[in-house]
Amino acid sequence: MKKIFLAIASLVLAAGIGVAAVGCATGYAVEVSGGGSGVGLSNTRNGTFDLGMASKEVKGEDAEGLTVYQLCIDGIAIVVNNENAVEDLTTAQIKAIYLGTTDNWSDVGGADASINVVHREDGSGTRDAFLEKVGIDEETETMVEGTTLNSTNLVMQTVSGDKNAIGYISLGSLDDSLKAVKIGGVEATKTNVLNNTYPLQRPFNVVYTESRLAENDLLQDFLTYLKSEDAQEIIEEKGYISLTSRTYPAYAVPETKPETMELSVGGSTSVQPLMSQLAYAYEELLAA
Amino acid sequence: MRQASIANNAAEAAIPVSRRAAAREIGMKVVFAVAAAIFIAAVIVICVYLFIRAVPAVGEIGVIEFLFGGVWAPGKGAYGIGTLVVGTIVATAGALIVGVPVGLLVAVFMAFYCPKWLYKICKPLLNILAGIPSIVYGYFGLQVIVPFVRDTFGGTGFSLLTTAFILGVMILPTIINISETSLRAVPKSYYEGALALGATKERAIFRTMFPAAASGIVTAVILGLGRAFGETAAVVIICGNVAKFPTSLLDSIRTLSSNIANELGYAEGLHREALIACAAVLFVFILIITTIIMLLRRKKR
């Protein structure tokens, strides 16, 4: 019975792969996979990935043999309702709220009302960044149960409608429908992220080896694209923060198109959604 | 002689025509067979795919742990869908409590009391209700019902109550349309007979017409149940997605479908397989519902 199932499944799979292969064979393909920042670094070093992704600083031993390029910064804003009197929280207070040890706004300087915690769903990059920066380890600590929503937009709508709610969103998506609290006195602004005083932030890095770069012309061109104005536009649009210390030239498709047809990119699952968008836009540009 | 030769001529003339017809017949048979094969293949492929992916995952997690475990926390490697199954069942039950009485009363109104001019307005309205995309119901729930529940009853507003109400409204068109049709299908003489025996109009409807249309009405309810059961887009926005056993109407819940919708985008490895197993569980429930409908239909005959 199992054999029959497997036979049917492999037939179906084979057909699917065939169709996919026929569909993809005509153009350039930038394959983006996950695995985590650590996998991104080690697999780039050993040559499995052409380009690695890491949502943390890459230095010291981690950076050995690798060239690092910082794509952008991921900032997290802690948001409350505009009517909420609380203006300022420390990361320790935020952690206590999400672990449930603090459950009333009066404990952190607000009105006497219970705190309605809003989460993002498991696997969301924003959730990852929030947990990492606030210092909650999901494997050992249990967070308070709260409304779980699967998009930044839904979190914003909920917090802007509920005066006792607290949530977290990408800093780039923040608008005046809700209020971002200061973290330890530091306001959540792009300026404070860029001058590194705002704590809830992490870099999005890509890494590669110089030897791979030298032999792979598609990698060279994709990096040119990542460093371009076109890529930065997508990055900003997705709510991430571009480094302002650099200039970003416009991308132009090279006159002789790259000989290499495939590029494998892998690593941090937080960078993965953004990278997929960039890869897609890049493939479109090359195909045009 | 003359007649025979005419018949003969006709037969000769008919041969090429019938051959062409036969060829066309075979051609169409092939077309129909291919169409049927595609449809059957679609069902089988989905079914096989679901179970091939689900069975090893459930095996790894453990059948009891998977079906009855009360903790769904992929970050900790806990994959128990007990709370999700309960969430799905209470949300569906709530939807039926909201939708069935209202739906049946509306069906009675449409079948027996509604003036013709009003019927011409009601029927299209009902079809519009059926045609509203479910995500729109979800947003309506988020913008209107969630704040209303929060301000009136307390809690966060993302609750079993909100979900049951929205689902109840969503299944109204299904329940109304099918039960109205089955009420109309009962011979008028039943109704007139009851009236002639001295029953009031209400009595005739509820004691004579309802029992006569029972199997149709049950089908309507079960189809509504099926719709509420698998509903995803609206529910994921308004249910709160908290994986625990609800203890009050104002508690958040998480359903099987909203769980899949929330996490499938990122899930990898066992987590992904476990979500597919959730889909398989939903599939089994829907299969049971379909079987019940088939049995009811057979009983009717």
- Mean predicted confidence (pLDDT) in B35-49: 92
Query: Which of B40, B150, B238 has the most A C-beta neighbours within 10 Å, making it the best mutation to test the interface with A?
Result: B150
Any CB–CB contact under 8 A between B232 and chain A?
no
Which residues 38-57 of B are in CB contact (within 8 Å) with A?
45, 48-49, 51-52
Which residue's structure tokens are 């009902």? B126
Q: Of residues B107 and A12, which shows the higher confidence score?
A: B107
How close B88 gets to chain A, by Cα (Å)? 16
pLDDT beyond 80 at B300: no
pLDDT tier for residue B8 given thresholds of 50, 70 and 90? low
For residues A31 and A264, is the Cβ–Cβ distance under 8 A? yes
Please state, rounded to an integer, the average pLDDT across all residues of chain A: 87
What letters, b where the CB count within 10 A reaches 16 and e where it falls short, cover B225-254? Answer: bbbbbbbbbbbbbbbbbbbbebeeebbbbb
ipTM of the complex: 0.75
Across the interface, do B48 and A5 touch by the CB < 8 Å criterion?
yes
- Choosing from B61, B78, B101, the residue where a domain stops is B61
Helices (H), A25-175: 37-45, 91-99, 125-134, 152-161
pLDDT of residue B295: 87
Total domains in the fold of chain B: 2
Q: Which of A86-100, A222-236, A264-278 has the lowest mean pLDDT?
A: A264-278
Across the interface, do A5 and B52 touch by the CB < 8 Å criterion?
yes
- B145 shares a domain with B11: no
- B266 shares a domain with B119: yes
pLDDT tier for residue B163 given thresholds of 50, 70 and 90? very high
pLDDT of residue A159: 94
Please state, rounded to an integer, the average pLDDT across all residues of chain B: 89
Helices (H), B62-159: 63-68, 82-108, 116-131, 134-140, 146-153
pLDDT of residue A36: 78
- Choosing from B42, B61, B80, the residue where a domain stops is B61
CB-defined contacts A:B, below 8 A: 75
pLDDT beyond 80 at A226: yes
- B135 shares a domain with B8: no
Contact list in A for residue B147 (CB cut-off 8 A) is 161-162
pLDDT of residue A288: 77
Q: Which of A58-72, B130-144, B235-249, B287-301 has the lowest mean pLDDT?
A: B287-301
Helix/strand/coil percent split, chain B, to 5: 80, 0, 15
Determine the 3-state secondary structure of A184 from DSSP. coil
Strand ranges, E, within A158-213: 165-170, 179-180, 182-183, 201-208
- B10 shares a domain with B120: no
pLDDT of residue B278: 95
Strand ranges, E, within A125-256: 147-149, 165-170, 179-180, 182-183, 201-208
pLDDT of residue A172: 80
- Mean predicted confidence (pLDDT) in B107-136: 93
pLDDT of residue A38: 83
d(CA B9, CA B6): 5
Tens digit of each residue's pLDDT (9 = 90 or more) over A8-40: 666 566 566 555 554 544 588 898 887 778 888
Can you say whether the dihedral through the CA atoms of A239, A240, A246, A251 is positive or negative? negative
For residues A203 and A223, is the Cβ–Cβ distance under 8 A? no
Domains and their CATH numbers in chain A: 3-73+202-287 (3.40.190.10), 75-200 (3.40.190.10)
CATH number where B193 lies: 1.10.3720.10
Contact list in A for residue B73 (CB cut-off 8 A) is 138, 142
Question: Which is nearest to A48 in space by CA: A215, A208, A253, A260?
Answer: A208
Phi, psi (rounded to 5 degrees) for A139: -75, -30
pLDDT of residue A174: 86
Tens digit of each residue's pLDDT (9 = 90 or more) over A172-190: 888 889 999 999 999 999 8
pLDDT of residue A124: 79
pLDDT of residue A255: 85
- B158 shares a domain with B79: yes
Q: What percent of chain B has pLDDT over 70?
A: 93
- Choosing from B41, B61, B81, the residue where a domain stops is B61
- B100 shares a domain with B18: no
- Mean predicted confidence (pLDDT) in A250-269: 88
d(CA A23, CA A168): 39
- What residues are paired with A104 via a beta bridge? A114
Across the interface, do A150 and B236 touch by the CB < 8 Å criterion?
yes
- B57 shares a domain with B6: yes
- Which tokens in the block code for residue B2? 């003359």
pLDDT of residue A173: 82
pLDDT of residue B9: 54
- B101 shares a domain with B52: no
- B80 shares a domain with B46: no
Contact list in A for residue B74 (CB cut-off 8 A) is 122-123
pLDDT tier for residue B284 given thresholds of 50, 70 and 90? very high
pLDDT beyond 50 at B49: yes
A9, A145, A150: residue with CB nearest B48 = A9
- Mean predicted confidence (pLDDT) in A250-254: 90
Across the interface, do B45 and A12 touch by the CB < 8 Å criterion?
yes
- B110 shares a domain with B51: no
Across the interface, do A147 and B240 touch by the CB < 8 Å criterion?
yes
Q: How far apart are the first and last CA of chain B?
A: 54
How close B5 gets to chain A, by Cα (Å)? 60
- B152 shares a domain with B49: no
B147, B156, B254: residue with CB nearest A116 = B156
Q: Cβ-count burial of B130 within 10 angstroms (0-12 exposed, 13-18 middle, 19+ buried)?
A: middle
Structural domain span for residue B143: 68-300
- B252 shares a domain with B118: yes
Query: Which of B38, B47, B156, B259 has the most A C-beta neighbours within 10 Å, making it the best mutation to test the interface with A?
Result: B156
- Mean predicted confidence (pLDDT) in A135-149: 88
pLDDT of residue A16: 62
pLDDT tier for residue B20 given thresholds of 50, 70 and 90? confident
pLDDT of residue A20: 57
d(CA A178, CA A81): 5
How close A205 gets to chain B, by Cα (Å)? 20
pLDDT beyond 90 at B177: yes
Amino acid identity at A12: V
pLDDT tier for residue B1 given thresholds of 50, 70 and 90? very low
